[in-house]
Amino acid sequence: MAEIYKSRAGAEKIRSRYREVLGSWPVPSEHIRIPTREGETFVVASGPADGPPLVLLHGSGANASTWRGDIETWTTRFRVYAVDMPGEPGGSTPSRPDLATDAVASWFDDVLDGLSLQSTSLIGMSLGGWVALDYTIRRPARVDRISLLCPGGIGRQKVGWLPMAFLLGALGTRGKRRTARMVTGLDTPSMASALDDVTLTFAHFKPRTERLPVFPDSALRQVQAPVQVIVGDRDVMMDSSETARRVRLCIPTASVTVLGDTGHAIVGHADTILHFLAGRTDLN
């Protein structure tokens, strides 16, 4: 099993920061550890126990802390499960299932079974959006609704930012923070803490380096669940215009929003997502 951190000391810095975030979770929560074929998966569960289920899947180099600004909104209606995906800097196994196979969907089968969920709504961001869409295509009966934020696997995956990131890396912590700002688009004072977390993580974490498999038109046309897609027009990692175009072509019933002056990180849209997941159309 590949080591996902650059050093033990770096891994502990990331884990320490994650413990701080979990200790100040905005709503009452419980921590669940689910055995899966890939290893143990860590889940943060919040919201009313009898609420309809909603599972959250974060992006690469992240964990359940991705959702701390949104969780209060979503738990007003749903029982929310923030899943730490395997191979990422959270509380789950470091195993990285092969994205080109059924392995990720099989892992997620185990997660839903461990949570006693026959079906659920999904929110996925970036890599998590790829996982959510892959699962929707492979296991349509288990997905009620799906909200995709800057998802991978639809539009072209960009690499033009990599040379600049390499140059900035030579500037130490200051350069790493500038890279994090460039990649995420988090450049406002209110996002300073989130940007700090991204900078810390990628100083010590080894992300996946393979390109995400692209879903063919035939696979996208199979999607029957209601779909919401939100992308940013300044995303340097994914081709947002191509994502929007292909979704509109292949899933004509989908709700597609291209946000102006927005990068890869889609934040501050919890209410819009809640209305979609609740089946609301009056505020679209």
Q: CB under 8 Å to 206, separation ≥6 — which residues? A: 2, 3, 4, 5, 6
Q: Is the pLDDT of residue 283 over 60?
A: no
- Report pLDDT for 192: 74
User: Rounded to an integer, what is the distance from CA 262 to the centroid of its chain?
Assistant: 17
Reported as a pLDDT band with limits 50, 70 and 90, residue 40 is very high
- Report pLDDT for 190: 63
pLDDT tens sequence across 70-123: 999 999 999 999 999 999 999 999 999 999 999 999 999 999 999 999 999 999
| Residue whose tokens read 């500038």 | 178
This prediction has a pTM of 0.92
For strands 53-57 and 79-83, give the pairing: parallel
- Report pLDDT for 267: 86
For strands 79-83 and 39-46, give the pairing: antiparallel
Q: Which among 156, 157, 158, 149 has a CA at the least distance from the CA of 131? A: 149
How many angstroms separate the CA atoms of 108 and 57, rounded?
10
Reported as a pLDDT band with limits 50, 70 and 90, residue 176 is low
Higher per-residue pLDDT: 194 or 27 = 27
DSSP-derived letter for residue 6 is S
- Report pLDDT for 162: 47
Q: What percent of the chain has pLDDT over 90?
A: 75
pLDDT tens sequence across 124-167: 999 999 999 999 999 999 999 999 999 999 999 876 544 454 44
Q: Is the pLDDT of residue 284 over 90?
A: no
Q: Which among 174, 147, 157, 158 has a CA at the least distance from the CA of 229? A: 147
Q: What percent of the chain has pLDDT over 70?
A: 87
The mean-pLDDT minimum among 48-62, 89-103, 197-211 falls in: 197-211
- Report pLDDT for 160: 55
Architecture of domain 8-277: 3-Layer(aba) Sandwich (3.40)
pLDDT tens sequence across 208-248: 989 899 999 999 999 999 999 999 998 988 999 999 999 99
